[in-house]
C-alpha cells in the first residue's frame, strides 16, 4: 500500500506556519483513505452513538472542519 495523493490543500495553504499541527487526508493505492489528525479515542469513544462500533485496533481522530471542507472537491462521488 502507498499514498497516491493528498486530498485537499496542503497544510501550508490552510494556514499552518509551523507544520506542527497538520491534519491531512490521503488517498491510498487500494482506494482507501488515510486521515492524519489529533488522536481523541479516549475522549470520544464513550460518546459514540449506540449503533457505532470501534474495533480495538481502530482509533478516533479529529481533523479540522477546514481540512475536510477543502478536501471535499477532491473526494469522488463514487
Higher pLDDT residue, 14 or 21?
A: 14
Per-residue pLDDT at 2: 98
pTM for the model stands at 0.79
Per-residue pLDDT at 75: 84
Q: Return the HEC string of the chain.
A: CCEEEECCCCHHHHCCCCCCCCCEEEEECCCCEEEECEECHHHHHHHCCCCCCCCCCCCCEECCHHHHHHHHHHCCCC
Q: Which three cell numbers stand for residue 50?
A: 449506540
pLDDT in tens, 21-65: 688 899 999 999 999 999 999 999 999 999 999 999 999 999 989
Per-residue pLDDT at 28: 96
Amino acid at each position: 500500500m502507498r499514498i497516491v495523493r493528498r486530498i485537499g490543500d496542503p497544510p501550508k495553504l490552510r494556514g499552518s506556519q509551523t507544520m506542527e499541527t497538520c491534519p491531512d487526508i490521503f488517498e491510498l493505492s487500494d482506494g482507501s483513505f488515510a486521515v492524519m489528525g489529533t488522536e481523541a479515542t479516549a475522549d470520544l469513544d464513550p460518546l459514540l452513538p449506540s449503533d457505532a462500533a470501534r474495533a480495538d485496533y481502530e482509533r478516533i481522530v479529529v481533523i479540522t472542519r477546514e481540512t475536510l471542507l477543502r478536501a471535499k472537491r477532491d473526494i469522488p462521488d463514487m
